[in-house]
């Protein structure tokens, strides 16, 4: 039986929370979720994939239908990773570091991100929110550095709602779009969260 959720019109993380609630109260092997925007589509797709579903999405009216079928080989959800790989998260909430001169702040942020590699293998995730998401787009001076971090196994995430707000969702070239539920869950299981703004 296919469970259908109409989450069209809901902002993130609303669609993901509806799916999560269904999973907590029912056994689901197949699901269809109707969503309105790119951000919600990415968030629901990621959540379903993280919970062992093979996922595809198709345009549906003004939004998308995200369809998931439980895979035989379920992947481990982030919510089950506690104690397995809990490391340091760096949460970047701005495109500049500190207050005062904006141009200096932008240079400092670039230098900070380039220097994160000095944390070594303790660096687990870099999460970008608010104007920090501008660091993951085509024109960012740290795109190549972030790609190197991804190659090293570090997770780079960008808030999908923030990308949509700034009109940057089509310009993202590194990392994955995420939602507030994933961000909250990740910060909950991390050993340490460093917030940079």
Q: What's the pLDDT tens digit per position in 3-56?
A: 999 999 888 788 988 998 999 888 999 999 999 988 888 889 988 998 899 999
Average pLDDT, the chain: 89
Residues 6+ apart with CB under 8 A from 29: 1, 69, 70
In terms of DSSP bridges, do strands 53-60 and 63-70 run parallel, antiparallel, or are they unpaired? antiparallel
Residues 6+ apart with CB under 8 A from 131: 93, 94, 95, 96, 162, 166
Q: Give the per-residue pLDDT at 42.
A: 86
Residues 6+ apart with CB under 8 A from 124: 85, 86, 87, 88, 89, 154, 155, 190
CA torsion sign for 89, 22, 11, 32 is: positive
Taking the C-alpha atoms of residue 64 and residue 85, their distance in angstroms, rounded to an integer, is 33
Whether pTM > 0.85 for this model: the answer is no
Percent of the chain with pLDDT over 70: 92
Q: Give the per-residue pLDDT at 151.
A: 95
Q: Give the per-residue pLDDT at 73.
A: 56
Q: Give the per-residue pLDDT at 28.
A: 92
* Best CA proximity match to 92, nearest among 133, 123, 122: 133
- In this prediction, residues 160-166 reach a mean pLDDT of 95
- In this prediction, residues 122-141 reach a mean pLDDT of 97
Does pLDDT of 127 surpass 70? yes
Q: Give the per-residue pLDDT at 12.
A: 77
* Best CA proximity match to 193, nearest among 168, 164, 157: 157
Q: Give the per-residue pLDDT at 7.
A: 93
Q: Report all structural domains of the chain as residue ranges with CATH numbers, in order of start.
A: 2-75 (3.30.110.40), 80-196 (3.40.1260.10)
Q: What's the pLDDT tens digit per position in 52-97?
A: 999 999 998 889 999 999 987 554 444 444 444 448 999 999 999 9
* Top mean-pLDDT range of 99-108, 115-124, 183-192: 99-108
In terms of DSSP bridges, do strands 155-159 and 123-128 run parallel, antiparallel, or are they unpaired? parallel
Q: Give the per-residue pLDDT at 79.
A: 41
Taking the C-alpha atoms of residue 186 and residue 87, their distance in angstroms, rounded to an integer, is 10
């Amino acid at each position: 039986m296919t469970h259908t959720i109409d989450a069209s019109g809901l902002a993130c993380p609303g669609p993901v929370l509806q799916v999560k609630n269904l999973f907590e109260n029912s056994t689901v092997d197949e699901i269809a979720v109707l969503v309105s925007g790119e951000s919600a589509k990415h968030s629901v797709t990621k959540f379903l994939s993280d919970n062992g579903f093979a996922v595809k999405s198709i345009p549906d009216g003004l939004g998308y239908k995200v369809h998931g079928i439980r895979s035989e080989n379920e992947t481990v959800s982030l919510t089950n990773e506690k104690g397995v790989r809990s490391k340091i998260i760096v949460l970047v909430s701005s495109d500049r570091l500190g207050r005062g001169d904006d141009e200096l702040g932008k240079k400092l942020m670039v230098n900070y991100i380039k220097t994160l590699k000095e944390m070594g293998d303790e660096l687990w995730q870099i999460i970008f929110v608010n104007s920090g998401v501008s660091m993951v787009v085509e024109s960012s001076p740290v795109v190549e550095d972030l790609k190197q971090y991804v190659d090293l196994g570090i997770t780079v995430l960008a808030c999908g709602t923030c990308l949509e707000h700034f009109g940057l969702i089509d310009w993202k070239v590194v990392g994955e779009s995420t939602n507030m539920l994933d961000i909250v869950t990740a910060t909950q299981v991390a050993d340490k969260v460093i917030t940079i703004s």
